[in-house]
Structure 1
Amino acid sequence: MIEKKLSINERYFYVSVIVVIGAIFFFMRSWDPYLSGDSLKHAAVAKGLLFGDNWFNLYLAGEPYLKKPPLYFWLIAFSYKIFGISAFAARFFPALFAIFDGIMVFYLSKTVFDDDRDAFLASMFFIVNFHVIRLSSIVRMESIVTFFILLNLYLLIKGRYILSGVPLGLGILTKGPIGLIGISVFVIWKLLKRDFSFLSIRFFIGIILAFVMAFPWYAYQFFENKAFYKEFVGNQILARITGTLSEGDKRDYLFYFGRLLSRFWPGLPFFILGLVYYFKDGVYKKELWYLFGVYIFFVFVLINVPHEKFTRYLYYLYPIAAIFCVIGLKRLNIDKYAVEFFLVVGVLFLIGGIVYKKPFHHPFREGFSPSVYESYCKKVKSIGNVRMVNLGDLQRAYFYFYCIDKPYLKPRFDLILRNNTLMIKSIH
């Protein structure tokens, strides 16, 4: 009884350290005021929810936004209600869910490691990953949907089939089919083992529960906004697979290998060594290690399917890759020093964040210098609301997020882009 209590206390200690170090890495630069690219668009879409009368429809500066399901934007809009509309509030939930991802790495690791310290090290390899830090400090949904994927997988492993339907449904409501990664890996693993015992009433009730959670929004779009399916399914999924979307670069199958070499640090050497001993020592023969091997293979193949490849998709790979890092670390017999190493890195990062005051992110400069945008932003703020004419999506997102304080007012002025010049004119 005493040993069990000590074990629980040790586990809570490690989880607490994960939360603290995760907060240091993911929230350190969250106060930076600058947003750009998709982060700016996502922040603007979420702001639009606060001033609309229907949270089932998404808009970017007044125009329908059809590229993504809504849960991610609902979370950011909820953050605005708590903290006010700001870049920090937009980053809050992506950073928070990155910490949750680190906790899930810990608990998934506990299914294969007897020692809580080993599970903690796996979580540290995930958190102290400079690509994860980067992706979690901007406004992106990878950390959020990954949490639902990992929680879905963990509950399935534990046999909590009905409850597993909750994160499954939330994942689908966050990023569509990507939310199916956890259950897909689990089913493939079971079929490879020729173990069909999971096909129970509870398993199918879990799927039905996920369907009930996600279906109403998708059904609403089907009846009220069929353009969503043309954009989301036709362009964001099918056209991205065939390479006809033209939102990214067409890259070959070596692309992610190169990105792992440049992004997955400091874990990459240990991950490679872990993979070597995963096969050499027959680790793959152990039941749940086999599952994690299936996860690595499945996700790597999945992200390679689209012709248009994005570095951010590696985020889905990192949680389980971090567990493999511990194999390499232990084979080098240096795991006894690793806890201290990660704690020192966390402290140094905290000190660096306090000392280095300059923003990590750059001011918006789409077509014009930041000073031009700042000047027109002040003018738009004084007006309250404007109608934007001929501006690109990013420019519209910038003015809507940063400058339009009263989008509910009927605009009396036009903000016009003409001949590469911005101008404000009254609406006649």
Structure 2
Amino acid sequence: MTSSRSSRFSDWFLLAWLGLVLFLPRTWEGSASSDALRYMEAAREMTVTGDWVTPRLGGDPYFKKPPLFFWAMAASVSIFGDHPFSYRLVVGLAALASLLLLAGLGKQVWDGETGLLSALALGTFVLFLRVASSCRFSVPLVMLHILALRLALDRRPTTAKRLGFWAALAAGVLLKGPIGLLPFGVLLVYAFLAGDSSFLRKKAFWLGGPFLFLLLAGAWGLAMWVRHGDAWVQGAFGELAMRFSQPKLAKAHYFTSLLRFY
């Protein structure tokens, strides 16, 4: 028993150390892409204006992205000050959490060794390392996806874990829009391939969860609609419609960078 606990501690320590070495030093890097600069500016303006409902860019409402990523960066800036480190810290911590959560998920579904190797593979994946050093949505979204799957597939399900699954889905939607629901689709595929859909058939999985999801994901949307009306609807959903109206190659590119993590 002591040896087993020592081994588990060593595994978690290895992953935590890997994350600290690979991700956190990158938070001090000075360069950023044009997209990352826009997101950083939106978060900065949120702290300056004190308006945490409507993201703004150049003083104008920014409807193209949901607010959760801006909230997280703005909170970090409020604590650590307006420095590139404050913005990138959010992504660095999300990358570290992704490794730890993936190790736990692999252990739940298969075994501890599989979980550890999966986390090590993700942590040394070149694309993951690259986006983890920039203020982009991808890594926090992957973290929320892994969290949702870990809660849904837990071998000792509880009401709190089931509600946590729906809360993670809501957070994903507040972070990046409808793609935040991807873990639910992954669960359906898993249930089909593994021949185990028992957790989906249980009433406890559905009781309260969808309501919590609508409450968390819908509250901000309702506030934006009340404040900005059709302008927000057209800005937010028009962006989504534009992505799906692009050629097939462009649409494939929209999902490729995220699905590579899976």
Asked if Structure 1 and Structure 2 have the same fold, meaning a TM-score greater than 0.5 normalized by the shorter chain, the answer is yes
Q: 1:316 deviation in Å?
A: 4.0
Task: Tell me which residue corresponds to 1:314.
Answer: 257
* One-letter identity of the residue aligned with 1:129: F
Q: State the 1:196 CA deviation.
A: 5.7
**Is residue 109–residue 153 contact of structure 2 (8 Å, CA) maintained in 1?**
no
Structure 2 gaps of 5+ residues are: none
Q: Distance in 1 between matches of 2:10 and 2:76?
A: 28
> Is contact 1:241-1:308 (8 Å) kept?
no
For 1:199, which of 186, 201, 207 is the aligned residue? 201
Matched residue, 1:119: 115
Which is worse superposed, 66-75 or 189-198?
189-198
Q: Which residue of 2 aligns with 1:412?
A: none
What code does the residue aligned with 1:47 have? R
1:75-224 pair list within 5 angstroms = 75-114=72-111, 116-158=112-154, 159=157, 160-190=161-191, 193=195, 195=197, 198-204=200-206, 205-224=208-227
The 1:149/1:32 distance shift into structure 2, 3 A limit, reads: same
Q: CA deviation at 1:141?
A: 1.2
Residue number in structure 2 paired with 1:27:
24
The CA deviation at 1:13 is 1.9
Greater percentage in helix: 2
Per-residue CA shift, 1:368-394, capped at 9, x if unaligned?
xxxxxxxxxxxxxxxxxxxxxxxxxxx
Say if 2:107 and 2:113, in contact at 8 Å, map to a contact too.
Answer: no
Name the CA shift for 1:99/1:166 in 2 (closer, same or farther; >3 Å): same
Is the 8 Å Cα contact of residues 44 and 77 (structure 2) preserved in structure 1?
yes
SS in 2 for 1:33: coil
Q: Is 1:231 equivalent to 2:235 in the alignment?
A: yes
Contact residue 77 and residue 87 of structure 2 kept, 8 A: yes
Identity among equivalent positions (%) equals: 24
The CA distance in 2 between the partners of 1:112 and 1:184, in whole Å, is 17
CA contact (8 A) 2:73 2:86 kept: yes
Where structure 1 has 5 or more consecutive residues not aligned to the other structure, the ranges are 244-249, 253-305, 321-428
After superposition, give the CA deviation of every residue in 1:119-160 in whole Å (9 maximum; x if it has no partner): 212111100111111001000011111111111111111244
Q: Quick one: which amino acid aligns to residue 185 of structure 1?
A: V
Q: Is the 8 A contact 1:35 1:87 kept in 2?
A: no
The farther-off stretch of 150-159 and 5-14 is 5-14
**Aligned partners of 2:6 and 2:233: how far apart in 1?**
49
Change (3 A) 1:210 1:6: farther
Distance in 2 (CA, whole Å) between partners of 1:36 and 1:194 is: 43
State the alpha-carbon separation in 2 of the partners of residues 45 and 13 from structure 1. Answer: 40
Which one-letter code corresponds to 2:260 in the other structure? Answer: L
1:187 positional shift: 2.9
Deviation at 1:86, TM superposition (A): 1.3
Task: Check the 8 A contact 1:240/1:308 in 2, yes or no.
Answer: no
Counterparts of 1:135 and 1:38, CA distance in 2: 12
Please state how far the C-alpha of 1:74 moved relative to its aligned partner.
0.5
Deviation track 1:58-80 (CA, whole Å, cap 9, x = no partner) reads 10121111111101100000111
Contact 2:12/2:100 (<8 A) preserved: yes
The yes-or-no answer on 1:14 pairing with 2:11 is yes
Partner of 2:55: 58
**Equivalence for 2:244:** 241
Where does structure 1 differ by over 4 angstroms across 4 or more consecutive aligned residues? none
- CA shift for structure 1 position 200: 3.3
> SS of 1:30's equivalent?
helix
Decide whether the 8 Å contact of 1:33 with 1:86 is kept in 2. Answer: no
Could you tell me how far apart the structure 2 residues matched to 1:162 and 1:224 are?
29
The one-letter code matched in structure 1 to 2:144 is F
| Mapped partners of 1:194, 1:153: distance in 2 | 15
Instruction: Provide the C-alpha distance between the structure 2 equivalents of 1:107 and 1:213, rounded to a whole number of angstroms.
Output: 26
What's the TM-score, normalizing by structure 1? 0.56
Amino acid at match of 1:307: K
| Aligned twin of 1:331 | none
Report if the CA contact (8 A) 1:68-1:232 is conserved.
yes
Helix, strand or coil for the counterpart of 2:30?
coil
**C-alpha distance in 1, partners of 2:178/2:30?**
32
In angstroms, what is the RMSD of aligned CA positions? Answer: 2.1
Kindly state the Cα deviation for residue 251 of structure 1 after the two structures are TM-superposed.
Answer: 6.1
Please list the CA deviations of residues 95-139 of structure 1 after superposition, one character each: whole Å capped at 9, or x if unmatched: 11011111122112113433x333212111100111111001000
**What TM-score results when the alignment is normalised by the length of structure 2?**
0.88
Q: Residues 44 and 208 of structure 1: is their aligned pair in 2 closer, same or farther, counting only changes over 3 Å?
A: same
